[in-house]
Structure 1
Amino acid sequence: MSAAGNTVFGSRLKEARLRAGLSQKSLGIAAGLDPFVASTRINRYELDIHKVDYPFACRLAAELSVPVAYLYTDDDELAELILLYGQASKRARSRLLAAAREM
């Protein structure tokens, strides 16, 4: 899943950003970075040159409409479940949890 040198976080961040159709600069600006450094900073997060602190990871996840846990999981199937859960209605989440508890 991860390219050489990329962390799980960097790879997931890039996947979510591309899925959202955002450039590195637009994501950075939306998350509150200065426009002059936004593209470079997001690029460095994606390449694991800079580490992201958790509060800022939460801001990035909110801008990408993904649960922050998605950005940290190294299991592709779990990542998909996290995305689906995050997109589900409250009722669907309750049903999913009930079904999981019965397993």
Structure 2
Amino acid sequence: MNHYEKGRHTPDLQTLKRIAEELGVPLNYFFCESDQMAKFVLLFEQLSEDEKDELLTELNLKKGR
């Protein structure tokens, strides 16, 4: 893990999946480029499928303004 944190090695996708499962985070969490997006990903994953659809609809409506 230390080598990954220091950028000496990059984990392959299977390893990242196992780390994500162990930490209880979605895989895409590791690819977020900001803390704000990482927080959004964590919150979004906690929503039900209906709530996700509802939020996406709302965001699309706001974007269309």
2:32 paired residue number:
73
2:43 paired residue number:
84
Identity in percent: 32
User: Cα RMSD between the aligned structures?
Assistant: 1.3
**Alignment match of 1:98 (pick from 41, 57, 60):** 57
1:49 paired residue number:
8
**Which consecutive residues of structure 2, in runs of 5 or more, have no partner in the other structure?**
none
SS at match of 1:74: coil
Q: CA deviation at 1:63?
A: 1.4
The whole-number CA distance in structure 2 between the counterparts of 1:88 and 1:99 is 14
Aligned residues: 62
The TM-score, its normalising length taken from structure 1, stands at 0.54
The TM-score, its normalising length taken from structure 2, stands at 0.79
The whole-number CA distance in structure 2 between the counterparts of 1:87 and 1:46 is 26
Displaced runs of 4 or more, over 2 A: none
Q: CA deviation at 1:67?
A: 1.2
Deviations 1:27-82 (A, max 9, x none): xxxxxxxxxxxxxxx12112212111112111111111111111111122111111
**Which consecutive residues of structure 1, in runs of 5 or more, have no partner in the other structure?**
1-41
